Amino acid sequence: MSTGTPIAETAGIAAPTGSPGLIQEPGTVTAFWRRLRARPSAIAGLVIVGLLILMAVFAPWIAPYDPTATDWGNVRGSPSLAHPFGGDEVGRDVLSRIIFGARASLGAGLVSVALAVSLGLPLGLLAGYAGGWIDGAISRLTDALLAIPFLILAIALAAFLGPSLVNAMIAIGLSATSTFIRLTRAQVRAVAAEEFVEAARAMGNPPWRIAFVHILPNIVPAILVQATLTIAAAIIAEASLSFLGLGQQPPEPSWGAMLNTAKNFMDQAPWMAIWPGLSIFLAVLAFNLFGDGLRDALDPRQRA
Amino acid sequence: MLRFLARRLALAVPTLILASMIIFALQQLLPGDVATALTGEERDPQVIAFIRAKYHLDQPLPVRYAYWAGGVLRGDLGESIRLQKPVSKLIVEKLPVTLELACLAMLVALAIGVPMGVLSAVKRGQAADTVANGIALWGLSVPNFWLGILLILLFSVELGWLPASGYVSPFESLSENLAAMVMPAFVLGNAIAAVMMRHTRAAMLGVLGSDYVRTARAKGVSPLRVTLRHALPNAAIPIITLGALEFGQLLSGAVLTEQVFSVPGFGKLMVDAVFNRDFATVQGVVICTAATYIALNLAADLLAAAVNPKLRRA
């Protein structure tokens, strides 16, 4: 895990210059891009992610109709020129709801993973670097959290917090935190054993400086890959919670919630089930493709 | 081996205790007073007072945990407020259904994932490998409740071959039971098959590159025999370990699958409990899941150690 400083820059984290031990290869960013570009599937993932984000951000300008406006002439209306994806059970435009639904899905994916990283990274750093009883306590807590399957924990948390999109994000983020604690801890321990960290210590750097300046930039690639793949899992989790009625509340659109309603009209209006599911699938696939490509491009040792 | 078992148990027990504390502490998240939240719609002060006394709600949290944990150890998971039944009884009733579903799903996962993984390792870099990887990526990305809905659309609504829902006990009619379970088992096994495929591929690639496989090839053993008799048994260890761990994943997935196909199992029990604000049942289901997962983890470790003595020192 010593792919070097420049990768940290691609993660938007200012890398320290001239730190001892960090490999200062000129053009590593270019090399990274070259490796990523060599993977058409990763680029496809990145492009789809970009388009979905644009769709979510500019939803009010793209969507042909108000996503919550009902139209009695379009109740379970078949796909037509006016409504390409058809109408739902109260005549809302399915296409507009899909476009606005991207906000709930991508928002939940990004926010919950941001929460999981912001909790898991410091705790993992602390456990991995401090060692001793602190490590013991954090690791046991992580084991206990990991013993409860991700989705079951998220459902239980959402159940106790109460059904809403924000609570679903919190529930998913908390459920994913343990993965990041464990990954960060393992990465920190691997990097801390390397010679340049020993050298930094010998030079009299304080522990916090070693942890943040010398170790953190080197573990960013692994965290970044895990975060991308976890966004995919979080999008499925948000859709699952909304499907169960524990996420986005009606009438606000969410792909998972749309599928829940669609289930009751399968024989009359199958399009109500096709499009939201396809959207979830596409979003998850895009993050998975990009995450897999990122992993291969960032860590040459793992390449098959 | 006994010392290894003792060491693993010494890790598993505190993990379970800590998990139970986390699960118990969940009720602190309930907005407002726990007693009013537990009674739901009921606002009768007498009922609330009864609940308060019954769950020792006037006591501090650690004391309440001790009462609850003591009950759990005796197999008493509390009482479902909605169904007026002991939670443990509900779980024992529903568990066989989910276990059947999970076992069938695991069969599906093994039947699809292992051959696909072996094939893609042997044909590494060729078209078959690309196709298998593509299928695995599809399996990992498709939400299983949507896949369930699509299957119902095709096989129940359009073709009318399989029932969309309606569970029949295998003791009543095995054929009807299997007809009702085919789609849920496939949906649930699908995602695990993808994980199995990826791990089988990685394990096989590792083994196929080793010296003894090269020796076997050099001796003139047929490629098929090298793959199936020499390589696969050695690649099987990580696959078995992973299989045990993926059971936790199956329990997670079962929640949604059972919801889509109205299978009256463990997951359906949990979702219904969530909507009935029946929190004792939710906690009971979650603690049982955690205990199962920890037990499977332990079993996987022991199995791996039994097969590979080197791991016993870990």
* B14-52: pLDDT as tens digits: 888 888 888 888 877 777 666 776 666 666 777 777 777
Are B143 and A277 a contacting pair at CB < 8 A?
A: yes
Instruction: Give the model's confidence band at A94: pLDDT under 50 very low, under 70 low, under 90 confident, else very high.
Output: confident
Helices and strands in chain A, H and E counts = 13, 0
User: Residue B79 forms beta bridges with which residues?
Assistant: B86
**Residue A302 pLDDT greater than 60, yes or no:** no
pLDDT recorded at residue A27: 57
Q: What is the 3-state secondary structure (H, E, C) of A235-283?
A: HHHHHHHHHHCCCCCCCCCCHHHHHHHHHHHCCCCCHHHHHHHHHHHHH
Which of A15-24, A73-82, A244-253 tops mean pLDDT? A244-253
Are A148 and B22 a contacting pair at CB < 8 A?
A: yes
Are A267 and B157 a contacting pair at CB < 8 A?
A: yes
Task: Supply angle C-alpha A107, A263, A171, rounded to 5.
Answer: 35
**CB B279, CB B285: distance < 8 Å:** no
**Residue B200 pLDDT greater than 70, yes or no:** yes
Are A267 and B248 a contacting pair at CB < 8 A?
A: no
For chain B, say whether A42 makes contact (Cβ under 8 Å): no
Mean pLDDT computed over A60-70: 79
Q: Which of residues 220-259 of B touch A (CB under 8 A)?
A: 248-249, 251-253, 255-256, 259
pLDDT recorded at residue B295: 87
Top residue of B252, B262, B301 to mutate, by most chain A CBs within 10 Å, is B252
Instruction: Give the model's confidence band at A16: pLDDT under 50 very low, under 70 low, under 90 confident, else very high.
Output: very low
pLDDT recorded at residue A111: 95
For chain B, say whether A273 makes contact (Cβ under 8 Å): yes
Helices and strands in chain B, H and E counts = 13, 2
What residue of B is the nearest CA neighbor of A160?
A: B30
End-to-end Cα spacing for chain A: 17
Mean pLDDT computed over B194-213: 84
State the CB neighbour count (10 A cutoff) for residue B201: 26
Q: How many interchain CB pairs under 8 A, A with B?
A: 133
ipTM score of complex: 0.84
Are A273 and B256 a contacting pair at CB < 8 A?
A: no
For chain B, say whether A254 makes contact (Cβ under 8 Å): no
Q: For residue B150, which residues of chain A lie inside 8 Å, CB to CB?
A: 273-274, 277
Are A156 and B30 a contacting pair at CB < 8 A?
A: no
**CB B266, CB B154: distance < 8 Å:** no
Which of A19-23, A68-72, B247-251, B280-284 tops mean pLDDT? B280-284
- pLDDT one-digit tens code per residue, B102-137: 889 999 998 998 889 888 888 888 888 888 888 888
What residue of A is the nearest CA neighbor of B125?
A: A304
Are A150 and B271 a contacting pair at CB < 8 A?
A: no
Q: For residue A157, which residues of chain B lie inside 8 Å, CB to CB?
A: 26, 29
Average pLDDT, chain B: 82
Q: Which residue blocks in B28-86 are alpha helix, DSSP H?
A: 34-39, 45-54, 61-73
Q: For residue B209, which residues of chain A lie inside 8 Å, CB to CB?
A: none
Top residue of A48, A142, A152 to mutate, by most chain B CBs within 10 Å, is A152
- pLDDT one-digit tens code per residue, B67-95: 888 888 887 887 777 777 888 888 888 88
**CB B15, CB B294: distance < 8 Å:** yes
pLDDT recorded at residue A122: 93
Are A284 and B143 a contacting pair at CB < 8 A?
A: yes
For chain B, say whether A277 makes contact (Cβ under 8 Å): yes
- pLDDT one-digit tens code per residue, A165-188: 998 999 999 999 999 999 999 888
Are B149 and A245 a contacting pair at CB < 8 A?
A: no
Name which of B187, B185, B181, B143 is nearest B163 in CA terms: B181
Are B143 and A140 a contacting pair at CB < 8 A?
A: no
Name which of A222, A228, A270, A277 is nearest A254 in CA terms: A277
Mean pLDDT computed over A245-254: 85
Mean pLDDT computed over A126-145: 89
Nearest by CB to residue A280, choosing from B124, B140, B146, is: B146
B85-86 vs B79-80, strand pairing mode: antiparallel
pLDDT recorded at residue A121: 93
pLDDT recorded at residue B32: 66
Are A259 and B27 a contacting pair at CB < 8 A?
A: no
Top residue of B13, B20, B29 to mutate, by most chain A CBs within 10 Å, is B29
pLDDT recorded at residue B296: 84
End-to-end Cα spacing for chain B: 12
Are B270 and A304 a contacting pair at CB < 8 A?
A: no
